[in-house]
Structure 1
């Protein structure tokens, strides 16, 4: 307690000393402000500006008188005066016109104007061009394009020939496509595991040929799922493709006698947005965990995302596209991949329809014929360009062959 009392007394003393030091300083500051105000403001209350010191203004002396200058005057030079031209009527009336004399200081110079004659303008008139007379004739064919006609007729002949034999029951050879051969095994595996099948026919609309091929294969997959009573999920990114897919799947279930197993709500529309659609499909994969996934159609940047998600859920995956930039991703991440035209041949391969098989076989034969023509033409041109073929029958054959293909 004594220490606390001593501390309080010390603090009080310091406060009093500080107040006594501040009072004189404030008084001095107030007196200085009063003096400044008195100097600036006069007795009548108006501001008084200090008068500047008088400065001596130097006197300006008059300039000295101008000195007389002697200027030598030269006689005025003779200046040719411009010609004075009278109106056109006066010019035409007189042969020559003399203008008034132009007065120059101390000199009179008469100036004569040359007569002005109207300039003659020559106008060239072009004769109309005479078009050559061509006798009228009927040209039904452009013989320079006869090679195109030959190719079309050859294709029609091959397709008609093989279609006719296929309809009569002849077995036409079509090479085995491993991805399509595994289609039934994939659906069977999903059935054994008690899980569903996911099918995606690409992300484009029905105006894309790959989408048409993908929807066609969907019909064959739907027949297998109807036969095995396996759930089929087919989310779509285009509303029109959804409508077509629903009708195709419904027809497939009717053909298999299972219309009651058809579930239109599983063939639904998600969104037109590319990656929004991929996100929705990924959610379906993670929830339903399908045992088989089919990606058949047009795909772009979403191909690897879909394939990796399907691989994460342990599904067997069959993919197919005609986009060269996406085939490597499907090959790396899927079990089976249809490359290029194998996607378009899938319908004929699966259905064994005589018309489709005959058309496919005819197209294959015309492709072989085109390859043979390319090889023969390359050999002929190569031999004709060598020293052994120049000027021989090979040069003539190569020239005629190339003219035929143009």
Structure 2
């Protein structure tokens, strides 16, 4: 007879251990008013997958939390998020093109919930073609492209475009003339980077006019190269420059040569050229690295006129202290455009100046309006 109570105890224990837990939802407190309203809508001007849920706060004082639930299509309600009472909206990631419903309730500091209120209409997340919040970027791009096309047309039709004079550029004729008077060569270093670097391209563009002046003045030109591709391009540029100057016979193919692809080995070789050949003018144009001071100091010790130009910010201080003239940053590109007079370069350069003028004007206007308490310019430029 004792087996019956034992069997009963075992059955009761197993039922207690393996019983499925069910969450009992707290009963709403009638003293706590739910949020006044809730609205869900597709997030505008995005790539889809986002719904914006917003609500008006509960009028009941002492609310600490809002609990938000979501239902996708015909699925069951699921808990999504619990937010602080100070928040009145949040963005929810959902699948595209699926109707989504939301409901929300308020919870006070003691954990007492209000009743739920639900959205009356489903929200459907869909991607948009355009982000209207970035319309100002589109307008700026259109204005800039229009400026480029306008200045390109002006340059191609032969209209003279004003470019601000650069001190190093003004000294170029003097430097070439000095080399001619002294009977010494001109050393041109087109940087240590490859043709994939925009600074090297600018250096090659400058090399053409320099070589043409050297041909006109009958001054020897030395162009050592670290990159074989840069050497090949430089040879062609110098050859064409001598031809344009009417002195194709004066072109020496050995004046443009490859040295080595080692950084400091190249610097040592160029230093040796400076000491042996004693060039009257040293031109350092393009991309430079840690060897910049080695080159500039060696050239300075030989008494040569030195003009350097680079967009490597870390190397500019060394060129400034060791060279007579330094072409800084964007001036390197302006120099190549000024000397080559290439319409594409002139057009883009003038368009950049036009864009900078607009930006500067907006900054001045925005500062003035900001002092007066207006944020119109800030809102216009915000993305």
Q: Is residue 305 from structure 1 mapped to residue 294 from structure 2 by the alignment?
A: yes
Q: Name the CA shift for 1:207/1:168 in 2 (closer, same or farther; >3 Å).
A: closer
User: What are the residue-to-residue correspondences of 1:364-375 with 2, within 5 Å?
Assistant: 364-375=353-364
Alpha-carbon deviation of 1:368? Answer: 0.9
Instruction: Report SS of the residue matched to 2:294.
Output: helix
Alpha-carbon deviation of 1:349? Answer: 1.3
Distance 2:268 2:222 in 1: 15
Q: Judge conservation of contact 1:97–1:115 (CA < 8 Å) in 2.
A: no
User: What are the residue-to-residue correspondences of 1:4-403 with 2, within 5 Å?
Assistant: 96-97=2-3, 115-117=9-11, 118-119=14-15, 120-122=18-20, 129-130=72-73, 131-132=98-99, 139-384=128-373, 394=374, 398=375, 400-403=376-379
Instruction: Report SS of the residue matched to 1:203.
Output: coil
- More strand by percentage: 2
Greater radius of gyration (CA): 1
Q: Name the CA shift for 1:310/1:226 in 2 (closer, same or farther; >3 Å).
A: same
Q: Name the CA shift for 1:174/1:121 in 2 (closer, same or farther; >3 Å).
A: same
Q: Name the CA shift for 1:302/1:132 in 2 (closer, same or farther; >3 Å).
A: same
Instruction: Report SS of the residue matched to 1:235.
Output: strand
Q: Judge conservation of contact 1:237–1:270 (CA < 8 Å) in 2.
A: yes
Instruction: Report SS of the residue matched to 2:308.
Output: strand
Distance 1:352 1:135 in 2: 56
Alpha-carbon deviation of 1:294? Answer: 0.1
Instruction: Report SS of the residue matched to 2:327.
Output: strand
Q: Deviations over 1:271-303 (max 9, x none)?
A: 222211111101111111111110011122222
Q: Judge conservation of contact 2:239–2:248 (CA < 8 Å) in 1.
A: yes
Segments of 5+ residues of structure 2 without an aligned counterpart are 24-69, 74-97, 101-122
Distance 2:309 2:353 in 1: 20
Instruction: Report SS of the residue matched to 2:313.
Output: coil
Alpha-carbon deviation of 1:141? Answer: 2.1
Distance 2:140 2:328 in 1: 26
Q: Deviations over 1:187-232 (max 9, x none)?
A: 1211221111100111111111111111110111111122222221
Distance 1:159 1:363 in 2: 8
Instruction: Report SS of the residue matched to 2:224.
Output: coil
Please identify, of 364-373 and 232-241, the stretch whose mean Cα deviation from structure 2 is larger. Answer: 232-241
Q: Name the CA shift for 1:236/1:124 in 2 (closer, same or farther; >3 Å).
A: farther
- More helix by percentage: 1
Instruction: Report SS of the residue matched to 1:314.
Output: coil
Distance 1:370 1:121 in 2: 70
Q: Judge conservation of contact 1:166–1:354 (CA < 8 Å) in 2.
A: yes
Distance 2:271 2:379 in 1: 56
Q: How many residues align?
A: 286
Distance 2:220 2:135 in 1: 55
Segments of 5+ residues of structure 1 without an aligned counterpart are 1-94, 100-111, 385-393
Distance 2:157 2:295 in 1: 43
Q: Deviations over 1:247-282 (max 9, x none)?
A: 211222222233332223232222222211111101
Distance 2:164 2:276 in 1: 38
Q: Name the CA shift for 1:374/1:321 in 2 (closer, same or farther; >3 Å).
A: same
Q: Deviations over 1:8-34 (max 9, x none)?
A: xxxxxxxxxxxxxxxxxxxxxxxxxxx
Q: Name the CA shift for 1:255/1:124 in 2 (closer, same or farther; >3 Å).
A: farther
Distance 1:124 1:301 in 2: 71
Q: Judge conservation of contact 2:211–2:242 (CA < 8 Å) in 1.
A: yes
Q: Judge conservation of contact 1:238–1:271 (CA < 8 Å) in 2.
A: yes
Instruction: Report SS of the residue matched to 1:298.
Output: coil
Instruction: Report SS of the residue matched to 2:210.
Output: helix
Distance 2:218 2:173 in 1: 13
Alpha-carbon deviation of 1:181? Answer: 1.8
